[in-house]
Amino acid sequence: MRGNAENSPTGLSIVVPIYNEEENVPPLYDRVTAALAGTGIDYELILVDDGSSDGSFMLLKQLAEKDQRVKVIRFRRNFGQTAAMAAGFGVARGRVVVPMDGDLQNDPADIPMLLAKIDEGYDVVSGWRKDRQDTFINRRLPSIIANGLISRMTGVHLHDYGCTLKAYRREVLDGVNLYGEMHRFVPALASQVGARVAELPVRHHPRLHGTSKYGISRTTRVVLDLMTVKFLLSYSTKPIQLFGKWGIYTILAGFATGSLTLWMKLFEGMSMNRNPLLILTAFLLFGGVQFIALGLLGEVNARTYHESQGKPIYVVREKINLGEG
């Protein structure tokens, strides 16, 4: 499924998700071409049409016909930005893979700088939109909160996880399966397996044409995905260890209050009728068992998760300049 960098002369794969960006596609192509012309960098531009209903696909097709470096994947329907990026990563043949937004909020002119940073020995270089051109209340503010949370919970400290413009050594992406809003957590997941991660300020512009495909609802999805990532980072193999530990503590606490209750009944003649200690004991013992059961369920789930990693999160309708079908 993955490309083959060793046999490939291609140095760089740029991956761009496209969802109803017909006005942005031509300038995107022009600016990528201009940014890399004369740099000597050998590249492919992978454009993933995520179920656009406007003329985007026709434009992608035309570009691919006149320029063999343009590769196109067309989804059957809209599967989301992360799925589109995952599809692009899957066919990327470059030594370095650079994802980017299709609305020119990211600047293709920053790509050579990211590559230079990779050449310093980093595996992941993450763009930092230091001067972010989005509205404050519904975009930048939720991001500030999300970035703080992600930084704390993953232990990988970046200023701006959500920036699409990043550069990855391709090996880094090989073991990573993306879904939901997960693309922003790749640096954290990669760092867990030893990748060296750097952050670099990049330019950021207002959307060239059209409107954003997202509202504030994305924030809740990001936070929920963060919990999943935290779980994957910490307990992916052994949820039973996490819940089981608390289950055992809870049961021990139940034994303690149970012994106390028994002692008070036997030696102090305490009534058991509506006795709060008795209720607490029952609650702790029962709760402890629940925790352990939850851990076991989590364990089974984690295994299923790992075993089902090959499951596709998108369906491809057609491919252009990418070999068969």
Give the sheet arrangement for strand 43-49, strand by strand: 197-202, 124-129, 166-169, 96-99, 12-18, 43-49, 70-75, 316-320
By CB under 5 A, residue 143 contacts Mg ion: no
* 160 contact choice in ligand UDP, Mg ion, none (CB below 5 to 8 Å, kind-dependent): none
CB nearer to ligand UDP: give 211 or 271.
211
CA dihedral 67, 71, 76, 82 (to 10 degrees): -130
- Contact window for Mg ion (CB under 5 A) among 99-107, 156-164, 247-255, 274-282: 99-107
To which H or E segment does residue 142 belong? helix 141-154
CB burial class (10 A; 0-12, 13-18, 19+) of residue 211?
A: exposed
Contact partner at residue 81 from Mg ion, ligand UDP, none, CB < 5 to 8 Å by partner kind: ligand UDP
Near Mg ion by CB under 5 A: residue from 20, 82, 105, 321: 105
**94 interface partner picked from Mg ion, ligand UDP, none, CB below 5 to 8 A per type:** none
Positions touching ligand UDP (CB under 6 A) are 17-19, 21, 50, 78, 80-81, 84, 101-103, 105, 207, 212-214
Q: Which one of 50, 103, 199, 225 is in contact with Mg ion (CB under 5 A)?
A: 103
Q: 192 contacts which partner out of Mg ion, ligand UDP, none, CB within 5 to 8 A by kind?
A: none
- Say which entry of ligand UDP, Mg ion, none residue 146 contacts (CB below 5 to 8 A, set by partner kind): none
- HEC profile for 164-230? CCEEEEHHHHHCCCCCCCHHHHHHHHHHHCCCCEEEEEECCCCCCCCCCCCCCHHHHHHHHHHHHHH
Does position 106 bind Mg ion by CB under 5 A?
no
The residues with which 44 forms a beta bridge, in sequence order, are 13
Q: Which of 89, 113, 86, 108 is nearest to 13 (CA)?
A: 89
Which CB atom, from 182 or from 285, has the smaller least distance to ligand UDP?
Answer: 182
CB under 5 to 8 A by kind: which of Mg ion, ligand UDP, none does 50 bind?
Answer: ligand UDP
What is the smallest separation between the CB atom of 316 and ligand UDP, expressed in angstroms?
14
- Between 173 and 212, how does the x/- string for binding to Mg ion read (CB under 5 A)? ----------------------------------x-----
d(CA 224, CA 221): 5
Beta strand 12-18 with 70-75 is unpaired
122 or 314: CB nearest ligand UDP: 314
Whether residue 166 contacts residue 111, with contact meaning beta carbons closer than 8 Å, is answered with: no
Task: Kindly state the smallest distance separating residue 36's Cβ from ligand UDP, in Å.
Answer: 19
For residue 50, state whether it binds Mg ion (rule: CB under 5 A): no
* Residue 271: exposure state from Cβ atoms within 10 A (0-12, 13-18, ≥19): exposed
Interface residues toward Mg ion, by CB under 5 A: 101, 103, 105, 207
